[in-house]
């Protein structure tokens, strides 16, 4: 049984990858494809484990993964899972400032599939990463846009100043050994024919005729590029800090974002 797991990390092109997998799934009948909605309890337990490091949450995580594997048709020989929540909580809120919980989560994941498939298992981890400065800015944007974070970008940067993925990657490699672990930088993968999805399609061995059915790697969760994005993010954080009812906060942020996208469109039309 071949299992390729893409557990993130957050804000590294994961939504783009998942959109592409969803689009191409009809052309890959020999693959079981699991996205966020398919194993929600595993992602929830992983986030909880990041906060508490409670072995009970790790057990729930493994149970959810095992239930998914047990439900696969008996003749399944290939599966790919792309769920960034499997890496744990997105850094930047609730006291989580890094991915230090991820190696334990990946080790627990490997245990589940090893117990299920034993010597027939071919496990591969595929990770997407990003240049640190842009990564932290994207994490901040996600928290202020979709959540209720009130910290400015400068404050957020200071809090995540120790954010360092290198030791995490080394520990993941050691923890899941002998399963191979590969990773690509979003900054380098953007120019691929299908963006960050391309190296995953390469690992899967998806043929050119199937790839031809896909779009051209359109970026999901894009931000306006022709406005001052740091200032825009700080505007959203300031709205979160006003203490308005949640729906009023959301509407006020939507209005700011609509104005930013209008400015973006006008800038494009002037070029």
The DSSP call for residue 60 is H
Residue 270 in this model has a pLDDT that exceeds 70: no
Q: Which residue has the higher pLDDT, 114 or 190?
A: 114
| Predicted pLDDT at 224 | 85
Beta 181-185 vs 32-34: how paired, if at all? unpaired
- List, for residues 147-168, the tens digit of each pLDDT value: 999 999 999 999 999 999 999 9
Question: Which of 77-86, 136-145, 222-231 shows the lowest per-residue confidence on average (mean pLDDT)?
Answer: 222-231
Q: What secondary structure does DSSP assign to 206-236, as a single string?
A: --HHHHTTS-S-PPSS---SSS-HHHHHHHH
Cα(17)–Cα(23) distance, rounded to whole angstroms?
10
- Answer for the pair 33, 152: CB distance below 8 angstroms, yes or no: no
**Token duo for residue 67:** 């239930």
Q: Does residue 18 register a pLDDT over 80? A: yes
215: left (phi over 0), alpha (psi -120 to 50) or beta: beta
What mean pLDDT do residues 205-226 have? Answer: 78
Q: What's the rounded mean pLDDT across residues 235-258?
A: 96
Q: How far apart are CA 27 and CA 145, in angstroms?
A: 35
Residue of 268, 14, 4 lying closest to 139 (CA atoms): 14
pLDDT band at 219 (very low <50, low <70, confident <90, very high): low
Residue 214: what pLDDT? 85
Tens digit of pLDDT for each residue in 83-109?
A: 999 999 999 989 999 999 999 999 999
Q: Which two tokens stand for residue 94?
A: 């609730």
Task: Give the tokens for residue 159.
Answer: 């809090």
CB neighbour list of residue 44: distance below 8 Å, 6 or more residues apart: 85
Count of alpha carbons within 13 angstroms of residue 99, beta-carbon side: 28
Indicate if the pLDDT at residue 59 is higher than 70.
yes
The conformation of residue 83, written as its DSSP 8-state character, comes to -
pLDDT at 216: 58
Q: Taking the chain, what is the end-to-end CA distance rounded to the nearest angstrom?
A: 52
Of 57-61, 149-153, 246-250, 260-264, the one with minimum mean pLDDT is 260-264
Query: For the residues 210-215, what does the mean pLDDT come to?
Result: 86
**pLDDT confidence bin for 266, thresholds 50/70/90:** confident
Q: Is the pLDDT of residue 249 over 90?
A: yes
Q: Is the Cα dihedral 137, 96, 103, 126 positive or negative? A: negative
d(CA 114, CA 150): 43
Q: If you average pLDDT over residues 50-63, what whole number do you get?
A: 98
Q: What pLDDT, on a 0 to 100 scale, did the predictor assign at position 213?
A: 84
pLDDT at 58 over 70: yes
Which element (helix H / strand E) includes 128? strand 122-129
Cα separation values, 135 from 55, 67, 132, 231, Å = 29, 33, 5, 17
The single-letter DSSP state of residue 147 is: S
Q: Is the predicted pLDDT of residue 271 greater than 70, yes or no?
A: no
CB atoms within 10 A of CB 228: 11
Percent of the chain with pLDDT over 90: 89
Does 268 have pLDDT greater than 80? no
Name the 3-class secondary structure at 1: coil
């Amino acid at each position: 049984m071949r299992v390729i797991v893409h557990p993130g990390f957050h804000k590294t092109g994961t939504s783009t990858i998942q959109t592409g997998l969803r689009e191409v799934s009809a052309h890959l009948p020999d693959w079981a494809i699991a996205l966020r909605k398919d194993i929600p309890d595993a992602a929830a337990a992983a986030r909880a484990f990041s906060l508490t490091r409670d072995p009970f949450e790790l057990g729930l995580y493994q149970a959810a993964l095992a239930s998914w594997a047990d439900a696969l048709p008996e003749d399944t020989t290939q599966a790919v899972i792309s769920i960034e929540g499997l890496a744990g909580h997105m850094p930047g809120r609730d006291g989580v400032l890094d991915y230090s919980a991820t190696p334990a989560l990946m080790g627990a994941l490997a245990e589940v599939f090893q117990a299920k498939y034993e010597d027939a298992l071919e496990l591969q981890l595929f990770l997407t990463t990003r240049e640190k400065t842009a990564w932290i800015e994207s994490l901040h944007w996600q928290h202020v846009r979709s959540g209720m974070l009130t910290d400015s970008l400068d404050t957020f940067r200071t809090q995540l100043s120790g954010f360092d993925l290198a030791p995490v990657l080394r520990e993941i490699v050691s923890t899941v050994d002998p399963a191979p672990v590969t990773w690509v930088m979003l900054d380098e993968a953007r120019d691929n024919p299908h963006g960050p999805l391309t190296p995953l399609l390469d690992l899967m061995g998806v043929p050119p005729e199937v790839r031809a059915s896909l779009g051209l790697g359109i970026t999901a969760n894009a931000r306006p590029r022709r406005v001052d994005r740091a200032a825009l993010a700080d505007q959203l954080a300031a709205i979160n800090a006003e203490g308005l009812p949640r729906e009023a906060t959301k509407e006020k942020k939507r209005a700011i974002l609509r104005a930013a996208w209008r400015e973006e469109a006008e800038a494009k039309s002037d070029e």
